[in-house]
Amino acid sequence: AAELEYESVLCVKPDVNVYRIPPRTSNRGYRASDWKLDHPDWTGRLRVTSKGKTAYIKLEDKVSGELFAQAPIDQYPGIAVETVTDSSRYFVIRIQNGTGRSAFIGIGFADRGDAFDFNVSLQDHFKWVKQETEISKESQEADTRPKLDLGFKEGQTIKLNIGNMATKKGGAAKPRTSGSGGLSLLPPPPGGKIAVPPVPSPSSSAAVNHITPPPAQKPSSASSADILLDLGTPVPASKAPATADLWGDFSTASSAVPNQAPQQSNWVQF
């Protein structure tokens, strides 16, 4: 698995100074003021790479790219990379050779921005390493947990209750009412009534087709005084003139109207 891992570049800085540092005499930390900052022991290029979970600080020649020293880093912050107590541009790294021998040297940057980028590249890498470790740990814990058997057993069935499909208990679906001509009619709204047109009665239809004759005229010859004085004399009943046709003689009526002379028109006839 280590052979299949590829190496990625995290940070490249073209100018870096390397210093030989005196051994640390106390646990208070390193101080850059104890170094000969004006006379670096070596100057070259710095590259920060990663391969798997391990980061590497590589000091290379600016022209040929030949490797001068290499410092593998397993954790940060740690003993492999330490900051000094009196500056943010200088660090102490532990370099190792192929035989396993190690030594501590000091590196420094002329620009504070380069020192910031160097520090952030190491922080981002080991932050990613921490997340990968937590994810792998959670996956291993999930594998050790008992798995739930959600499969169907032999003979086991399920029942689906789909909305608008189930009817009431003990009842059947109501058939749709259809009107004349095969057109389906919608049921009336709840609480509403359908107005039915009134059916005319036979008496009202007969009254429309029948014309009531005019009432009979009362006799005008006898006065009210004569009726009170002469109670023994019967009052002769007058008969209303009988007419054979209630509508009258339309031909006679039309002949009685005098002929009117045609009115003279104001239009000129061409």
**How does pLDDT run across 82-123, given as a tens digit for each residue?**
999 889 999 999 999 878 789 999 999 999 999 999 999 999
pLDDT mean over 144-151 = 72
- Does residue 183 carry a pLDDT above 90? no
**Mean pLDDT (the chain, rounded):** 73
pLDDT of residue 193: 54
pLDDT mean over 139-158 = 74
Q: What percent of the chain has pLDDT over 70?
A: 57
What band does 216 get if pLDDT is binned at 50, 70 and 90?
low
pLDDT of residue 181: 52
Report d(CA 50, CA 57) in Å as an integer: 9
What band does 5 get if pLDDT is binned at 50, 70 and 90?
confident
What band does 240 get if pLDDT is binned at 50, 70 and 90?
very low
Q: Does the domain made of 7-137 have the CATH classification 2.160.10.10?
A: no
Residue type at position 55: A
Sorted by where each begins, the domain ranges of the chain are 7-137
Question: Which neighbouring-strand residues pair with 48?
Answer: 11, 57
- Does residue 210 carry a pLDDT above 60? no
Residues 80/107, Cβ–Cβ less than 8 Å = no
Report the 3 state secondary structure along 114-176: HHHHHHHHHHHHHHHHHHHHHHHHHHHHHHHCCCCCCCCCCCCCCCCCCCCCCCCCCCCCCCC
pLDDT mean over 228-239 = 50
| pTM for this predicted structure | 0.51
* 104 C-beta neighbours (distance < 10 Å), count: 17
Q: CB within 8 A of 188, min separation 6: which ones?
A: 194
pLDDT mean over 36-63 = 92
